[in-house]
Every structure is written in C-alpha cells, then in structure tokens.
Amino acid sequence: MTMYATKNFQTKKALKEAIASGAKISCFAPGLGNVPENGSVTLSGPHYPQPHKWYAEGVMENGYLVKVK
C-alpha cells in the first residue's frame, strides 16, 4: 500500500530536501491501513486526484520520515 506525506510534495526531490533541512514530516494512508510508527513505507505523490509522478521508499522513526530513497 502506498502512502502520502502529510504535505503534498510535487517532486521526490522536494521531499528529500525538506527532510534534509530538518522538517518533521509524517505520513498518512488514504483508505484502509495504518502508517507504521517505525519501519519502512512506500510513498507516492503528488496526492490524488493529481496523477502520481513519483514513488519512493521511506524510513519512519517515531512517527516521522527520516530518510527517503
């Protein structure tokens, strides 16, 4: 299941830059499912109904994204 970052990032680069600058970014799962507090997640963006233009694997720690591949 893919998830979204709470802010609607238009590019994966923008998401990575926000994490690198120290922004606290959490995720949400539209529809069914829960976001793990710790562990890996699959992300996509921008948010629906816009067509998805990027996908990424992320790492959650204590409810926040700390790394995006």
pLDDT tens-digit map of 6-51: 999 999 999 999 999 999 999 999 887 789 999 999 999 999 999 9
Geometric angle at alpha carbon 35, from 65 and 31, rounded to 5°? 125
User: Would you state the pLDDT for residue 32?
Assistant: 76
Rg over alpha carbons for the chain, rounded to the nearest Å, is: 11
User: Would you state the pLDDT for residue 19?
Assistant: 97
pTM recorded for the entire structure:
0.91
Q: How would you list the strands of the sheet with 27-28, edge to edge?
A: 27-28, 2-5, 39-45, 54-61, 64-68
